[in-house]
Amino acid sequence: MVGGGQLARMSAAPAAALGIGFRVLAASESESAAQVVNDVFVGSHDSIDDLKRFAQGLDVITFDHEHVPPAYLEQLEAMGVAVRPGPSALFHAQDKLHMRRALSDAGIPCPAWAEIHDVRGVADFAEVVSWPMVLKTSRGGYDGKGVWVVNSLDEAERVIALPLPAGAAWLAEQCIDFVQELSAQVARSPHGQAVAYPIVRTVQANGICAEVIAPAPGLPNERAVQAQRIALQIAQDLNVTGMLAVELFDDGYDLYVNELAMRPHNSGHWSIEGAVTSQFENHLRAVLDLPLGSPALKAQHAVMVNILGGDVGDLYSAYKHVMARDPGLKVHLYGKAVRPGRKVGHVTVLGNDLDDLLTRGRHAADYFSGRIDE
């Protein structure tokens, strides 16, 4: 797995359970996954030499992020290593303009969008959609970075004057007045088997995922099935292998695709305890072309709340309190240095009483972050 973050760290457990050799390409020995995985290759995902040396002896390469240049992935494939998802599929998760074109061509519902070259383009698009609108860099954004909501042509002009990441262009999108944000996750294998996880509600704060509720509360069954169908269709049309997360806006009537990720995703962390087969295990099974595991929920509800870095540098010191208060809580810490707002862990709770689960999950996350002290 290329990338030594928490997604690779959490993939290590199912790799060990299944007896799958698991090597991680990490930026340093101290990166999240490198702390726990036995087979660590320290190098850069931006270096084809490092990637090639990392790939020696591997059967399959997969990813915990989308940052490897597509041309490098093609070189790895030329070496005879299976790259999953493949470079042409993954490019849709690397470039949002490319993704919008492909989804629109396939008839997948998206917010109205336009490629923007100058302020004139913004003005033209503003006649199609009303203000506010969303401006994005087509590449390089994550966790709210690279995304702006603008209310006027003046604001838009200031945004598109900002420097773009290499290879990126400006993308304008209709601002959907959503009632909730959803995530549809599917796993798909090279031989075409696919499974769809229950549709979940994701709650964002400051552009960062704050909590996830599985299944999405109050979502009519037909819209849940529609969301699963959209994700399955995207996985097939784009030839995705491994986990695909489709972030969706639900305006109460229709669904619109927001973003794609082709890897385990924050919206599926609940599945470690809450699903028969976690997203991490199904990602490994999918990229190895093994039959997929059941994505069924193991409880009526699962709630996952992210632990964001706060004022407390030592997260371990919170253990006595949160574990004594809630013996049913599941804690995952990523071994990352605490910085304000950074995702440094998460908690999951399962049960029948959703309000109770939300209270418990938020309390624990707030206590870890230092926002509350009792």
Size of site (CB under 8 A) for a second copy: 45
* H-helix segments, 38-191: 48-55, 70-78, 87-94, 96-105, 119-128, 153-160
Residues 6+ apart with CB under 8 A from 57: none
Closest alpha carbon to 291 in 189, 138, 174: 189
Please state the closest distance from residue 250 (CB atom) to a second copy, in A.
28
CA dihedral 57, 63, 68, 74 (to 10 degrees): 50
Q: Given candidates 350, 357, 364, 365, which one binds a second copy under the rule CB under 8 A? A: 350
**295-319 in b/e burial notation, b at 16+ Cβ within 10 A?**
bebebebbbbbbbbbbebeebeebe
Site for a second copy in 136-155 (CB under 8 A): none
Does position 57 interact with a second copy (CB under 8 A)? The reply is no
For 156, list phi and psi in degrees, rounded to 5: -60, -40
| CA distance linking residue 331 with residue 10, whole number of Å | 12
Q: Given candidates 57, 327, 337, 373, which one binds a second copy under the rule CB under 8 A? A: 327
Q: Given candidates 192, 217, 220, 291, which one binds a second copy under the rule CB under 8 A? A: 291
Crossing angle of helices 153-160 and 119-128, in 10° steps, is: 140
Window 164-203: contact mask with a second copy (x via CB under 8 A): -------------------------------x--------
Does position 328 interact with a second copy (CB under 8 A)? The reply is yes
Q: Given candidates 82, 149, 153, 290, which one binds a second copy under the rule CB under 8 A? A: 290
Site for a second copy in 258-277 (CB under 8 A): 276-277
Q: Given candidates 244, 255, 331, 358, which one binds a second copy under the rule CB under 8 A? A: 331
Specify whether the CB–CB gap between 302 and 337 falls below 8 A: no
| CA distance linking residue 117 with residue 120, whole number of Å | 8
Q: Given candidates 121, 335, 341, 370, which one binds a second copy under the rule CB under 8 A? A: 335
* Two structure tokens written together for 175: 């601002």
- Interface with a second copy by CB under 8 A: which range of 137-145, 163-171, 283-291, 363-371? 283-291
Please state the closest distance from residue 168 (CB atom) to a second copy, in A.
35
Q: Residues interacting with a second copy, by CB under 8 A?
A: 9-10, 12-13, 15-19, 22, 34-38, 40, 195, 276-277, 285, 290-294, 296, 298-299, 315-316, 319-320, 323-324, 327-335, 345, 350
